[in-house]
């Protein structure tokens, strides 16, 4: 199906001016150059739209950009048969109607010159300056000759990196794709489908994140027409059948207008038709459509306070549907969107959805970052900068874009980048969590403490052992909610690494790439020996399954065995078992495990009996020289505290541990059962001699009735 012929926005979309006749523009463009003091007729529509938003704009640079674009593209034709210059003209008109400033429009006119003509970036820079040159370079595709099959993903990577420094790059790309989608009907069906899928998976989510709803909705409809022609035709028929003089929204709109007028509130009440994809989604959600499902009421006011005044009148004079109320003014969406959403019951029980916003909010809702103009223009009222900055402060650079730019550096493989980009963009909601140091982290909805750890600490998060969420100990797999306060707990042992199970809980590409990279580089450490795993299983670190680490402090795989332990084989590597964490003066025994290493247990550990039952021969082990001391790094031990639940218990236990000069490596708190709470701590002590005193200090904490060394059941396999 021809996307251009489908024109899915035509039946209901109200435009400020009719669609421009590109063939007529093409004929105008072929007339050749014009005098220096006159604006070319071919861009008169662009000038008109631009002046509507920027009355004082200097159009001289637009005239020069058009002259260069027209002369360089002269003789080139589009597949539709129109002169090629009609494409940059149409793209520029789209941006002009959205309110883009002059620099963006200049770059838009020139956006294909470097890619498709003999014009060079140096020429663009010389004639139009650094900013225009940067924007043109940002949207210029990489050559397939140089990149082969990786050209498309690497072009998008280049574009996104450029967007990170100037969001206007992506504005031009989105307008460019919209015009190409409008004229996609001349392509072969298979190429239409390929371009539509990339638009659906990458460009539409980017338009959503940049808040450019006017482009996003039309792109959605054009993609819908190509990829789902049958559902598209059904939706078109439904909309056509619902269009008539007896629109129930008209009646409700009149009632709302009179209500607000009687209340003395100056407001404009409009009917905002839903676009095709929106109607299709409502139909899938509700089944049979109501007469009011084909549009929504839009109430525009002057000030923020007027939005709430309108809301109060509507909820007073109409029956509100409370479940439909959302306040995106007090809590804006991550894509700059602000509005009040509600629904009211009109005559004869008709339910109408209502959007309430100021005129400024409406402009931003439609045009997103485009409506913000030039985010880098120096505010005349702002004090001059005394020191030059190497980075340009971009107020429009949201958290999702910063995260994307961070993880793409690690995704060096084009296929990995392309797949991860699509997955990342498929996550359509964002939350904000607060750090205990006062900072914030922007994360996708559904993110866990693992994601927060990598967002805050990068690769240092490999040593994460747990978290406190809103002041309470939590596992790393805990899913965070908007507004949570999170404190990440890291192990002092920098040699430790992530568990493979963390991959089950991550939502951010940066965390997934970092964890996968570490596991790939450390295959032996990523998979614990079954002989040393405790019966709690290979769970996520920071959960009960791994609160006691599988291997205590001796992680030096290639170096000598830890000081203080002697086994029969002097060349064997020695590991202290995590299931029982032996410390002097515990009696020891060991077993040879995979790779020839010897894992040392306490003799009373259940794992010892289990190993002997399956025929494993014990290896004699003892503390060196009978000194009962380990290396300068101290010793590690796992303790279990049984207590009655009470406020501040965890804080008091933590203080007692710190007072005894012990460091917490990991900690878990099981859910209370019959008012009893079980705490498991893996601790590092400077000297094993301090263990009895530490256990006494913990027992002295009010509410604690027992503290014991960890004794995990032996593995059965």
Residues annotated as part of the active site? 115-116
Take residue 77 and report the two structure tokens written for it. Answer: 């034709």
Query: How far is 555 from 672, CA to CA, in rounded Å?
Result: 34
Query: Residue 703 is encoded by which pair of tokens?
Result: 């509410």
Measured between alpha carbons, how far is 127 from 137 in angstroms, rounded to an integer?
A: 15
Say if CB 590 and CB 598 are below 8 A apart: yes
Specify the 3-state DSSP secondary structure of 440: strand
Quote the CA–CA distance of 568 and 119 in Å, as a whole number: 77
- Per-residue HEC secondary structure of 497-543 comes to CCCHHHHHCCCCHHHHHHHHHHHHHCHHHHCCCCCCCCCCCCCCECE
CB of 408 closer than 8 Å to CB of 157: yes
User: Measured over all CA atoms, what is the biggest interatomic distance in the chain, rounded to whole angstroms?
Assistant: 100
| Measured torsion, CA atoms of residues 213, 219, 222, 223, in degrees rounded to the nearest 10 | -120
Q: Are 574 and 590 in contact (CB under 8 A)?
A: yes
Instruction: Give the span between the Cα atoms of 477 and 523, in whole angstroms.
Output: 22
Q: How many CB atoms lie within 10 A of CB 235?
A: 25
Residue 483 near residue 433, CB atoms below 8 Å: yes
Question: What is the SS3 assignment for 529?
Answer: coil
Helix axes 213-227, 189-198, angle to 10 degrees: 140
Gap between the Cα atoms of 62 and 621, Å rounded: 84
Per DSSP, the three-state class of 348 is helix
Answer yes or no: are the C-beta atoms of 310 and 327 closer than 8 Å: no
Q: Are 124 and 133 in contact (CB under 8 A)?
A: yes
> Using CA atoms, how far apart are residues 92 and 208, in angstroms rounded to an integer?
20
Say whether 693 sits in a helix, a strand or coil.
Answer: helix
At 241 the three-state DSSP class reads helix
């Amino acid at each position: 199906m021809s996307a251009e012929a489908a024109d899915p926005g035509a039946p209901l979309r109200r435009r400020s001016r009719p669609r421009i006749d590109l063939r007529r523009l093409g004929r105008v463009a072929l007339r050749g150059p014009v005098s220096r003091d006159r604006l070319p007729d071919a861009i008169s529509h662009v000038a008109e739209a631009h002046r509507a938003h920027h009355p004082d704009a200097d159009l001289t640079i637009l005239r020069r950009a058009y002259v260069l674009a027209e002369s360089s593209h002269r003789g080139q034709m589009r597949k539709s048969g129109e002169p090629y210059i009609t494409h940059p003209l149409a793209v520029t008109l789209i941006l002009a109607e959205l309110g883009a400033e002059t620099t963006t429009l200049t770059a838009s006119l020139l956006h294909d010159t470097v890619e498709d003509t003999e014009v060079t970036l140096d020429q663009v820079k010389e004639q139009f300056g650094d900013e225009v040159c940067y924007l043109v370079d940002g949207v210029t595709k990489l050559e397939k000759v140089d990149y082969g099959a990786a050209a498309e993903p690497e072009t998008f990577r280049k574009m996104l990196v450029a967007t990170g420094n100037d969001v206007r790059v992506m504005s031009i790309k989105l307008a460019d794709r919209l015009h190409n989608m409008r004229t996609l009907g001349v392509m072969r069906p298979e190429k239409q489908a390929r371009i539509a899928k990339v638009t659906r998976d990458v460009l539409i989510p980017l338009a959503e994140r940049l808040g450019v709803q006017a482009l996003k909705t039309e792109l959605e409809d054009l993609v819908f027409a190509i990829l789902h022609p049958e559902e598209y035709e059904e939706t078109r028929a439904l909309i056509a059948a619902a269009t008539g003089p007896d629109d129930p929204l008209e009646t409700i709109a009149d009632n709302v207008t009179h209500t607000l007028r009687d209340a003395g509130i100056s407001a404009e009440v409009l009917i905002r038709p839903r676009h095709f994809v929106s109607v299709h989604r409502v139909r899938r959600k509700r089944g049979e459509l109501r007469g009011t499902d084909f549009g929504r009421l839009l109430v525009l006011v002057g000030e923020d306070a007027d939005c709430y005044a309108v809301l109060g009148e509507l909820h007073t004079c109409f029956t509100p549907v409370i479940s439909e109320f959302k306040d995106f003014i007090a809590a804006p969406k991550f894509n700059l969107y602000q509005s009040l959403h509600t629904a009211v019951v009109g005559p004869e029980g008709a339910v109408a959805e209502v959007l309430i916003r100021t005129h400024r909010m409406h402009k931003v809702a439609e045009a997103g970052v485009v409506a913000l103009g030039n985010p880098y223009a120096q505010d005349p009222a702002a004090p001059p900068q005394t020191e030059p900055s190497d980075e340009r402060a971009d107020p429009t650079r949201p958290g999702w874009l910063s995260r994307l730019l961070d993880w793409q550096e690690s995704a060096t493989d084009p296929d990995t980048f392309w797949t991860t980009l699509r997955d990342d963009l498929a996550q359509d909601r964002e939350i904000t969590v607060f750090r205990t140091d006062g900072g914030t982290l922007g994360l996708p909805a559904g993110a866990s403490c693992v994601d927060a750890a990598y967002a805050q600490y990068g690769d240092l998060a490999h040593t994460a052992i747990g978290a406190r969420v809103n002041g309470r100990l939590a596992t790393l797999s805990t899913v965070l909610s908007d507004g949570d306060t999170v404190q990440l707990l890291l192990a002092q042992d920098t040699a430790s690494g992530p568990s493979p199970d963390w991959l089950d809980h991550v939502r951010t590409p940066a965390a997934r790439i970092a964890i996968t990279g570490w596991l790939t580089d450390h295959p032996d450490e990523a998979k614990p020996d079954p002989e040393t795993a405790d019966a709690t299983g290979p769970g996520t670190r920071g959960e009960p399954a791994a609160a006691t680490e599988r291997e205590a402090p001796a992680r030096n795989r290639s170096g000598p065995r830890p000081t203080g332990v002697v086994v029969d084989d002097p060349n064997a590597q020695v590991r202290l078992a995590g299931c029982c964490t032996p410390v002097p003066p515990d009696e020891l025994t060991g077993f040879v495990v995979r790779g020839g290493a010897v894992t040392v247990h306490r003799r009373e550990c259940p794992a010892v009996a289990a190993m002997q039952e399956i025929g494993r021969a014990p290896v004699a082990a003892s503390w060196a020289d009978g000194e009962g001391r380990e290396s300068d790094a101290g010793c590690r031990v796992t303790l279990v505290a049984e207590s009655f639940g009470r406020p501040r218990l965890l804080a008091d236990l933590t203080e007692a541990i710190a007072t005894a000069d012990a460091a917490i490596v990991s900690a878990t708190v099981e859910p209370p059962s019959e008012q009893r709470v079980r705490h498991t701590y893996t601790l590092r002590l400077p000297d094993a001699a301090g263990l009895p005193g530490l256990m006494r200090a913990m027992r002295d904490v009010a509410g604690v009735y027992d503290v014991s060394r960890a004794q995990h059941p032996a593995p059965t396999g």
